[in-house]
Amino acid sequence: MKHLVLLGGGHAHIHVLRDLAEPRLPGARITLVSPFPRLAYSGMVPGVVAGHYEPGDCLIGLEPLAAAAQAEFKQTTATALDAAARTVTLASGDVLHYDVLSVDVGGVIDRDAIPGARERALFVRPMEHFVRLWQDLLALAQQRTLSVVVIGGGAAGVELAMALQHRLDGRARVSLLTGGPPAMASYPQKVQWRAARALKRRGVTLLEDGCAEVADGHVVLSRGGRLSCDAPVVAIGSSAPPWLRGSGLALAAQGFIATGATLQSTSHPEVFAAGDVTSRVDALRPKSGVYAVRAGPPLALNLRRFVAGGALQPYSPQPRSLNLLSCGTRHAIASWGDWSAEGRWVWLWKDRIDRAFVKQFSS
């Protein structure tokens, strides 16, 4: 009997688990490894911070999905991967031998990329921790007015800055450090303009500067000077998990797993990967939760076929994706390629999509 190990409880793997529940995968036993019993759906986390959702609204239970797929669930993390020996070493001390491995652990934030951040900052990833720990920031804001600095000018940083300003209105001053470029620099110019205007409406101070250090009571800016800060929130881009470096897998330039059209490792065909932990060598796309979610069904199909010895199906990500950016209040920005729009109707559209996504894995 073949052993299929699903390493990580990410957005693609919840699709895989649901698919493997019916019909069951013959001739295989399945193990799911995740440090969290529930996945925090990233699309709704800013809404939790803004107060539009309860924390439980954005959480998807992994244990029920694993049980339905007759998968053993191990609540722990990987510390090493040996692709030649086909083993995964876990923080619990267990060593799993696999015949087929699928990796969907997501990226990680390098906690030492900014001096002082590890000791003093609140990190957005892993989001399961952030959803729980940000409540401490909310409680602190009830006691005194805070200076909050969000570090990172991508979509996550922009959404969280506006959500924090909305939720802590009158009890906090929120600033956003983009790292140097304009906010939302990877998006079309019109979306950047809409985001900058939304930040201004919310009262968020936008600084096109980086953070050189997180110190007690302030952050040191890359261009010199200091910015008062009681609560630094780090939302910079993700890095590859460090244990991939010694795995023996072929890795892309930034250390992510190099995969091809069938979502297999380019060096080890029995290893599949999806989400932020991968880098497609044949179809370069920006890392996005949209692509991680869309990779779920083709990943499930190819895992089934690989276990059964069948032909795999190439997966081509769409060249453009719909992006919906929440703006603190019940207002959002939509973009699709060069097209963009904004308003309350966009937020209602996003709300319906997000709730439906979580519900399909919770029923």
Last residue of a domain, one of 236, 258, 289: 236
User: Residue 327: beta bridge partners?
Assistant: 329
- Same domain for 197 and 288, yes or no, is no
Q: How confident is the model at residue 333 (pLDDT cuts 50, 70, 90)?
A: very high
- Same domain for 224 and 156, yes or no, is yes
- Same domain for 244 and 103, yes or no, is yes
pLDDT tens-place string over residues 22-50? 888 888 999 999 999 999 999 999 999 99
Q: 317 pLDDT exceeds 90?
A: no
Q: Which run of H or of E encompasses 81? A: strand 78-82
**Owning domain of residue 69:** 2-108+238-308
Is residue 356 domain-resident? no
Q: Which run of H or of E encompasses 275? A: none
- Same domain for 243 and 101, yes or no, is yes
Mean pLDDT of 342-348: 98
pLDDT tens-place string over residues 155-212? 999 999 999 999 998 899 999 999 999 999 999 999 999 999 999 999 999 999 999 9
- Same domain for 223 and 263, yes or no, is no
Is the peptide bond prior to 126 cis by the omega test (within 30 degrees of 0)?
Answer: yes
- Same domain for 294 and 201, yes or no, is no
- Whole-angstrom Cα distance, residue 225 to residue 205? 16
Say if CB 288 and CB 304 are below 8 A apart: no
Mean pLDDT of 305-317: 92
Helix pair angle (189-202, 155-167), 10° resolution:
20
Q: Which of 21-25, 74-78, 102-106, 231-235 has the lowest mean pLDDT?
A: 21-25
- Whole-angstrom Cα distance, residue 39 to residue 10? 7
pLDDT of residue 49: 97
pLDDT of residue 316: 84
**Predicted structure pTM score:** 0.93
- Same domain for 152 and 290, yes or no, is no
Is residue 361 domain-resident? no
Dihedral of CA atoms 347, 349, 353, 355 in degrees, nearest 10, equals 60
CA 68: distance to chain centroid? 25
pLDDT over 90, % of the chain: 87
Q: 5 pLDDT exceeds 60?
A: yes
Is residue 354 domain-resident? no
Say if CB 176 and CB 206 are below 8 A apart: yes
pLDDT of residue 27: 87
Q: Is 327 exposed, middle or buried (0-12, 13-18, 19+ CB in 10 A)?
A: buried
pLDDT tens-place string over residues 231-289? 999 999 889 999 999 999 999 988 999 999 999 999 999 999 999 999 888 766 555 55
Last residue of a domain, one of 236, 260, 290: 236
Q: Is 318 exposed, middle or buried (0-12, 13-18, 19+ CB in 10 A)?
A: exposed
pLDDT of residue 285: 58
- Same domain for 42 and 86, yes or no, is yes
Looking at residue 108, the DSSP 8-state letter turns out to be: B
Is residue 332 domain-resident? no
Mean pLDDT of 131-139: 92
Mean pLDDT of 5-29: 93
Q: Where residue 168 sits, what CATH number does that domain have? A: 3.50.50.60
Dihedral of CA atoms 30, 36, 41, 42 in degrees, nearest 10, equals -120
Say if CB 315 and CB 335 are below 8 A apart: no
Q: How confident is the model at residue 91 (pLDDT cuts 50, 70, 90)?
A: very high
Is residue 338 domain-resident? no
Q: 292 pLDDT exceeds 80?
A: no
Mean pLDDT, the chain, whole residue set? 94
pLDDT tens-place string over residues 45-61? 999 999 999 999 999 99
Sequence-separated contacts (24+) of 338-344 with Cβ below 8 Å: 338/188, 338/190, 340/188, 340/190, 340/191, 340/194, 342/194, 342/198
- Whole-angstrom Cα distance, residue 151 to residue 169? 19
Dihedral of CA atoms 45, 277, 180, 151 in degrees, nearest 10, equals 40
- Same domain for 121 and 232, yes or no, is yes
The residue that leads in pLDDT, 188 or 363, is 188
Last residue of a domain, one of 236, 265, 289: 236
Kindly give, in sequence order, each residue whose CB lies less than 8 Å from that of residue 180, ignoring residues fewer than 6 positions away.
208, 209, 210, 222
pLDDT of residue 293: 75
Mean pLDDT of 64-77: 96
- Same domain for 46 and 150, yes or no, is no
Looking at residue 166, the DSSP 8-state letter turns out to be: H
- Same domain for 122 and 171, yes or no, is yes
Cβ neighbours around 104 below 10 Å, total: 27
Domain count, the chain: 2
